[in-house]
Structure 1
Amino acid sequence: MKLAITSLFVVTLILAGCSGKGLVAGETPPAGEPRPVPGGEKRAEAAQRQEDLGKSIKAGDLEAVKRTLQEHPEALDARNLNGFTPLLLAGYHGRAEIGLYLVEAGADIEAQDPMGNNAYMAAASGGSTDLIRVLLEKGADPRFRNRLGQSALHQACLLGRLEAVQLLIGEGADVNAVDESGATPLYWAASKNQLPIAELLIEKGAKLDVATISQRMRPIDAARVHQHQRMVELLQDHGADA
């Protein structure tokens, strides 16, 4: 479970607006520390620009995004201090309109964040169904997995994105896919008490008793551990072994 929890932690930081400002180059260093190397000021300006662009994306300010990219087209696929491109941020924050603009502007849809999520995964995490559709039209691989072996469906279930789950299943996502920890989408839905998603997964053929590798935890076990009684009852009603 540690690997998958790490993925959730990273996404949570993104959605919370973690900017890594303490790492911005070009600030006056404390006494005794090296001065910035030549070119450091330009790098600091570029880094700050990406941070500001990220804030505009989070706020859903499409016009500000357009202005930045018109003045600095090199920012389209540049990464912020945490390793995220503008398109990845648009996906995570659920800013479909901005994401669509970035795609049409030529953003790299295969760029990955530090956890190995690409724009398709980010859009699923943010619940951006319109962006998911466009990325599929542009050639995104619906079978893509991140470094934790998670699919877009895992991410959408983990974060409670019901409409994205419906779309992904409609596009052929495997409801019984397992990540590196052995967890299925249903496991994560049960763990996070996502009742409508769990019901949909079961309706679409999700297996009830697939256990994780290290702790041998099934969806019903995860629901019990987190004291999600209604989820426990739902799984039992559909035949999960007590």
Structure 2
Amino acid sequence: TALMLAAQNGHKEVVELLIEEGADVNAKNNNGWTALMLAAQNGHKEAAGLLIEEGADVNAKNNNGWTALMLAAWNGHKEVVELLIENGADVNAKDKDGWTALMIAAQNGHKEVVELLIEEGADVNAKDVYGLTALMLASQNVNKEVVELLIEKGAKVNAQTYTGKTALMYASENGHKEVVKLLLERGADVDAKNKDGWTALGLASQNGHKEIVKLLKSYGAKR
């Protein structure tokens, strides 16, 4: 709709005009997106604020179960995240795969958004349908500062997915030495095994990460 296009591009005056002329603020496109989602994804705080004032549903979900909050978190738009939470956005809403806004922000390395979401009550140990946590996603994507922050805020270092994988395994497998070191310092179980019997050491070896193999061995990893 015209309203969606105006919101997507942050044209506040046009958004205002269209609403005055009777545009439906909660209309959805074929993918289930609303004007508010488009404004949030693109970081247009003023347009988003106006849509909310005019009755836009802050917790509406698109066809994948994503909310405006998740979309703002994906792109690290902290001010929009703040605005949405102030107006009742559910910080622990989940998409179809069980992802929360916190997981999304953690995966993408948006530290300030991660911090804000936790302050506002986001569950730091929430799991998706596979048992993945925000800590695992940050470890997998080499966001060391986010990993540190999540642990400080109570993330379980030794949480496992439903196939038994830990944050340490993800970091070891992907060659993220700094993250591996940090996780070990914070009490990661070096001998944990996944359902196939693999340890972090095995995964690091399989992927040729020599420095990580040395590091894991220095923490007592045997196989």
TM-score of the superposed pair, with normalisation by structure 2: 0.75
Secondary structure (helix, strand or coil) at the match of 1:149 reads coil
Task: Identify the residue that residue 237 of structure 1 maps to in structure 2.
Answer: 185
Separation in 2 of the partners of 1:62 and 1:221?
A: 47
Give the fraction of aligned pairs with identical amino acids, expressed as a percent.
Answer: 37
CA pair 226-60 structure 1, distance change in 2 beyond 3 A: farther
Separation in 1 of the partners of 2:184 and 2:11?
A: 46
Q: Which runs of 4+ in 1 moved over 4 A?
A: none
Separation in 2 of the partners of 1:80 and 1:223?
A: 39
Task: Identify the residue that residue 61 of structure 1 maps to in structure 2.
Answer: 11
Separation in 1 of the partners of 2:111 and 2:46?
A: 19
**Structure 1: 5+ residue runs without aligned partners?**
1-45
Number of aligned pairs? 190
Question: Displacement, 1:84?
Answer: 0.8
Question: Displacement, 1:224?
Answer: 2.2
Alpha-carbon displacement from aligned partner over 1:95-148 (angstroms, at most 9, x marks no partner) = 222211211121122211111122233333333333333333333333322222
Question: Displacement, 1:67?
Answer: 4.2
Alpha-carbon displacement from aligned partner over 1:182-218 (angstroms, at most 9, x marks no partner) = 011101111111111111011112111111113x221
Alpha-carbon displacement from aligned partner over 1:163-185 (angstroms, at most 9, x marks no partner) = 11111111122211211110111
Of the three residues 176, 189, 192, the one matched with 2:138 is: 189
Separation in 2 of the partners of 1:227 and 1:67?
A: 52
Secondary structure (helix, strand or coil) at the match of 2:115 reads helix
* Aligned residue identity for 2:150: L
**Structure 2: 5+ residue runs without aligned partners?**
191-223
Separation in 2 of the partners of 1:165 and 1:235?
A: 18
TM-score of the superposed pair, with normalisation by structure 1: 0.69
Task: Identify the residue that residue 103 of structure 2 maps to in structure 1.
Answer: 154
2:29 counterpart of 1:73 = no
Task: Identify the residue that residue 202 of structure 1 maps to in structure 2.
Answer: 151
Question: Displacement, 1:68?
Answer: 4.2
* 8 Å contact kept, 1:189–1:195: yes
Question: Displacement, 1:72?
Answer: 5.3
Secondary structure (helix, strand or coil) at the match of 1:73 reads coil
Task: Identify the residue that residue 175 of structure 2 maps to in structure 1.
Answer: 227
